Structure 1
Amino acid sequence: MSAGNTGQGTPDEGDDPFAYLYRPEGGAAGQQPVAPRQPSYNQVRPVGERTFGGQQGYRQQPSPDARYAAPETQGGGYGGPPDRRRNDQDSRRNGLLVGAIAVVLAVVLGIGAAILFSDDEGGDDEAGGGETTEPTGGADDGDDEGSSEGDPDPEPSDDAEPEELPAADITQLSLGGGAALEATFDGARSDSGSYVALAGRQGATVSWSFDFQGEPGMYYLYTGYSVITDDQTMSFSVNGTPREDPVKLVDYSPNDEWDTSWVRTFNQVELVRGQNTVEYTCGGSCDAAIDELFVTDEQL
């Protein structure tokens, strides 16, 4: 067969050395079987297609079995083996973070312990403990300062001075009915040395108003005076209420001199918190001089 044969039909007997195989018995010439069509050498076939025994070949396809497929052909792709280096880096980073937190906590605890122990040692030194040689003035100051900061507001001491009770200023009294402020003779106990003259002035009045912030109740009203004759009296009232007991001006001095006869007498009065007023009146015989008025909570 030449290169230009197209492969159509069968070759002639002269050209086919096996032609006798196609003859019928008896040597009679009969119809020769039609040989299958042979493909031409020049016919183009798809890659992978083959012929076996005159039959059309088949194209070999990849196996659909997923068990034998390459990992990269499976759905979702293949991520490859785990990155061990990345896992090592994450573990190292977590370890460093935990270590840093532990260091910070240790520093904070160390600072707190140092402050606590330093305070304790300072208190021991201030109290005179330890190996110090002698206490100094600074240690005493430290003790005072510590006690003032740690203790609440101290309660008032029993030795504290009581509130000062009222005492009259002779020059500030309200005078009426002929009463007058004088300084003719000496010995008056007022700050100015003057006194209220009442001798021979029947109906004269002396009024003293004052503010009282003590506890309401009974107190002693003292009247300082000078007389040279007995049986002198003055009536008085407290906060507008007349008293039944007069102020008795007894002559306790053995001589008859005004400047050497200064004495005191008292009457118990009830005072209220706030404004109080005491008023004296010469109703009868009232030859006297008044040099002081004051209130006490006990008898002198």
Structure 2
Amino acid sequence: MTPGDNGASTPEDEDPFGYLYADGQARGAQPPSGGYGYPNSVSRVRPVGERTYGGQQGQTIPQQGTYGQPNAHYQAPETLPGGAPTTQQPLPGSGGRGRGSGPNTKGLLIGAVAVVAAVVIGISIAMINGNDDDKKGNAAQPTQSQSQSASTEPSSTSSVSSTGKLPKTDAKTLRLGGGATTASDVKGAQADGGVYVANFNNVGASLTWTVNGIPAAGKYTVFLGYSVPGKDGTATLTINGTPSNQPVKFRNWAKAPEGNYERGWTKTYNWVQLTKGTNTIKISCEQGNQCDAYLDQLSLAKGWVTSED
């Protein structure tokens, strides 16, 4: 086509929508008779109410009557030849599950159980750790109790006072050994609380007293309170690890009837040599002794005397 208004050379070169514009209409453009204005298009214009199905021409469906009223001539597309199938096909990967099937509840249930199990395990671990922490805390308590017990155990040690007065001690402050124990059921003991050393009538039973601050080496007297059941007895005296050649004599000075410990309380003494400073005094039941006695107090006096005063 040359410049100017020479018209269309062929139908393909003609503007198919020229009839829509004023200049096209001035040139005499007319709406196309076939299709939507495209060349070689297929006309699909049909009377209102006609509809073809399944690719068959000429088969029509009568137009429905009044809205909302059933049409006796209406046929569902599914009933017509070539119509859509009525059976719903399962989706790929659906595993044959039909329409309306819910979500995978089995998977959800397994997930919920796993979450609950994790929570339970976490709580159990916390409780175990808590239980482990409680056990560690309790383990320290026996140590503390032992320390308290150790602090209340008899020191078995006495010291000379600053004025030079020699000490006296009760049975419950002595270090006991060989099965010797303390008791207080028999009345008459002079020690604090009426406590005395019992179970002494066994070979190896002993009591030990350590005295600090002896001002000078020399002669001293050890006094011992005791009770016998109406008969005499003996024990072994050891000073600083050396047994004395004189036994401790448990004489029935109180004239108690046989078997009567309550009326048998009295005192005895032994003369000893002590060194300056610390000395250890031990009274024990050894082989050959007659140790059937209760012991309640020990005291020291300067020199070889017969009385504590």
TM bin, normalised by shorter chain, reads 0.3 to 0.5
TM-score by length of 1: 0.44
Which one has the largest radius of gyration? 1
